[in-house]
Amino acid sequence: MNKPDDDRGKAEAVLKPGGCCCGDPFAGLPAEMRPKPGAKDDRLRQVTCPGCGLIYWSNRKTDVCVTCENADRR
């Protein structure tokens, strides 16, 4: 038979203050598996297109913007 005490413990665990949306989403992971601070910033770099002078953020290896790159292909 199930005891009512068993079900009550499960409900209390779910209803703790500071639910899933308010805390650290990576709190359950060990330190070596957590994302590094600033890891998102390392993906993008600020680039100035040598063709038109446009300043933009890119994760591509080339500095030429998409507009100038498409104009060269025509």
Query: Which pLDDT score is estimated for 26?
Result: 85
**Average pLDDT for the chain:** 76
- Residue-wise DSSP of 44-57: -EEEE-TTT--EEE
Domain boundaries, given as residue ranges, for the chain: 45-74
Output the CA angle 13-19-20, nearest 5 degrees.
110
Backbone torsion region of residue 34, taken as left when φ is above 0, otherwise alpha when ψ lies between -120 and 50, otherwise beta: beta
Summarised one tens digit per residue, pLDDT across range 3-32 is 555 555 555 555 455 555 678 888 889 989
